[in-house]
Amino acid sequence: QSALAQPRSVSGSPGQSVTISCTGTSGDVGGYNYVSWYQHHPGKAPKLLISEVYKRPSGVPDRFSGSKSGNRASLTITGLQAEDEADYYCCSYGGSDIFFVAFGGGTKLTVL
């Protein structure tokens, strides 16, 4: 079980859209619809943005959306705001032989 692959950094200007990818394998991302996304401002607790590929918990703005195709999941943020600048992590369940949860390496979003 390896960490999921994410770009180390992405950037965008206020109002623009960005997409963060998360690549796994058929044993995790591709095999289950249990991909979640987290926003993490350093020094604070991570915040759940998306669960089960595309589901937004109550209180999460609809500017955040999730999707998946094959072994790759994506988080799209539209209408970028300054407060969106943070680290973003994907996470996937992988239970083909043993229960396992893998996080991605994290993506630093910079709002220019």
Partner 1 sequence: QLQLQESGPGLVKPSETLSLSCTVSGGYISRSSYFWAWVRQPPGKALEWIGSMYQGGSAYYNPSLRSRVTISVDNSMNQFSLSLRSATAADTAIYFCARDDGYGSFDFWGQGKLVAV
Residues 13-52 that bind partner 1 (CB under 8 A): 32, 34, 36, 38, 40, 44-48, 51-52
Cβ contacts of 92 within 8 Å, gap of 6 or more: 4, 22, 24, 28, 29, 32, 34, 35, 36, 73, 101, 102
Using CB under 8 A as the binding rule, whether residue 59 contacts partner 1 is answered as no
Cβ closer to partner 1: 17 or 94? Answer: 94
Among 20, 102, 109, 111, binds partner 1 (CB under 8 A): 102
Among 63, 72, 78, 105, binds partner 1 (CB under 8 A): 105
Using CB under 8 A as the binding rule, whether residue 104 contacts partner 1 is answered as yes
> Shortest gap between Cβ of 79 and partner 1 (angstroms)?
24
Contact 20, 104 (CB under 8 A): no
The one-letter amino acid at 101: V
The one-letter amino acid at 17: S
- Count of residues of this chain found to bind partner 1 when the rule CB under 8 A is applied: 28
Among 1, 25, 67, 76, binds partner 1 (CB under 8 A): 1
CA dihedral 14, 79, 68, 91 (to 10 degrees): 60
